[in-house]
Amino acid sequence: MEKNYKNKDRSEKLRKMVPISEDEINDLNKLLEGVDSAIELMSTLVQPFDQEIDVSKMSSTVDGENYD
């Protein structure tokens, strides 16, 4: 039910901003549902920051190497 409410709200906002067809709205809603799902999944993977982060254990490079 929440997903349908979001889509309806998004559809109304889109119609006010730009001329857009129903097919385009449906495609955008599918894309945004995927983004919403990805955000929800990623939020479960991120550690909570309720304590100080030990940066000495983090990598120094994008490749995961630690030169410290």
List, for residues 22-52, the tens digit of each pLDDT value: 899 899 889 988 998 998 888 888 767 667 7
CA distance linking residue 32 with residue 67, whole number of Å: 40
- What does the pLDDT read at residue 11? 84
Average pLDDT in the chain: 79
Q: Tell whether the model's pLDDT for residue 54 goes beyond 50.
A: yes
30 neighbors 10 (Cβ within 8 angstroms): no
Burial of 12 (0-12, 13-18, 19+ CB in 10 A): exposed
- Whole-structure pTM value: 0.53
Sign of the C-alpha dihedral computed for residues 10, 4, 24 and 11 taken in this order: negative
What are the residue boundaries of the structural domains of the chain, listed by start? 2-41
Q: What is the mean pLDDT of residues 9-32?
A: 88
